[in-house]
Amino acid sequence: MLNIVILAAGLGKRMQSSLPKVLHPIAGKPMLAHVLDNARRLDPDRIVVVVGHGADQVRQAFADQPGVTFALQEPQQGTGHAVQLAAPWLLQGRSDADVTLVLYGDVPLVQADTMARLVEARAAGMAVLTQKVDDPAGYGRIVRDAGGRIRRIVEHKDAAPEELAILEVNTGILAVPTAWLKTALPRIDNRNAQGEYYLTDLIGLAAADGVAVNSAQPGADWETMGVNSRAQQAQVERVWQGEQARRLLDQGVTLADPARLDVRGTLTCGRDVFIDVGCVIEGDVALADGVRIGPFCVLKNASVGAGTQIDAYTHVQDAVVADEARIGPYARLRPGADIGPQAHVGNFVEIKKSVLGRGSKANHLAYIGDATVGERVNIGAGTITCNYDGVNKHRTIIEDDAFIGSDTQLVAPVTVGKGATLGAGTTLTRDAPENQLTLSRAAQKSVPGWKRPTKKQP
């Protein structure tokens, strides 16, 4: 059986925030969510999250997570104390292979491959994830004997001068036999500079009990970066964004500047995709072959078809765009927008919960809401669908090959027939018949002798 314990009880005082530290985001989702997502890839039998400061907020944030048990650490008396409180929930069979993996909610980037490698390195004993660093200040040092075996971990504040010179440090991440862990936890004491129960004391106990202590290293140095301050949060954010950019480049995506892309979700790209600077990707976004995204666009939960071009400063949210369409610049596709092949949505056009058919165009300054627009329809500048009566939403239907003149208001529910033309400035309140011109305008008149008012002099 595989148990995973995630320590998430810390206050995060240096964050200067009322939000629990593990709920602060990296790449658009809480740090703890990153740890949980990677942990689940190991298919564990039990996940226990140890909460403390802001416990109710953390529980609420992950209330919909199946298979997660919460243990409360109050007061917080160290990492060893936290795992002691999780111990009653750890599953244990009759096999020596039962293992508990200890992770940290404020170390969000540890990858599943590294977790699996640590569990495998445990062999018949336990394993600790270690790392060699140029500046080990503040880290617990890995103390090995003459044969290279790990004998103990000494915290920085408790280290002797010769121990401070050690460059191999403890990341805090452990894989421990569950049965032995339950017997060892009560033997941890708090006789140290901090007066806390250190989980790292397990190493010395293992050596005394004849339990082998092995080690593994992370796949990348950035995996073990922790977050204790806003500065560290920003640093981890940029490191992770850089890693996502690198993966996109390896897949053949062209990024105008890899340092100016933010992926806060999942981005799937086809071949020959180009993404310009300053773009933000949120939720699940799929870009098909040949898609080009202009600068400073925001895409959230969107699907974009092959050969489509999205120009600068366009927002696309919960929308679908088909092949060879042209969107923007400065366009906004809101939830429910469904843009057909070869359609055009131009500058300052907003579309919500509407279908725009193949080859149809709304190129300037329009609002289309709760509408079904057929194929090859032209929608002139200043057109709006008046879909809301103050209480209910109503639908507008514009059939194939219709032409909607500029500055037209379509008061839903209303239908524009196939091939119909609406004259500029029309306010349509009844259905417009097929293949006819429909317009509604006040009679134009000129007033002879009229003079423009002038400003009165004081």
364 is catalytic: yes
Rounded CA-CA distance 250/106 in Å is: 28
- Asked if 47 contacts 68 with a C-beta cutoff of 8 angstroms, the reply is yes
Q: Could you tell me the end-to-end alpha-carbon distance of the chain, in angstroms, rounded to an integer?
A: 91
- Residue 234 to residue 230: CA distance in whole angstroms: 6
Q: Give me the catalytic one of 34, 344, 364, 394.
A: 364
Spatial separation of the C-alpha atoms in residues 216 and 314, rounded to whole Å: 46
Contact 289, 309 (CB under 8 A): no
- Taking the C-alpha atoms of residue 309 and residue 298, their distance in angstroms, rounded to an integer, is 14
Task: Summarize the chain as % helix, strand, coil (round to 5).
Answer: 20, 35, 45
The token duo for 24 is: 């602060």
DSSP 329-352: SS-EE-TT-EE-TT-EEEET-EEE
Q: What does the CA dihedral 243, 244, 250, 254 come to, rounded to 10 degrees?
A: -120
- Residues with a catalytic annotation lie at 364
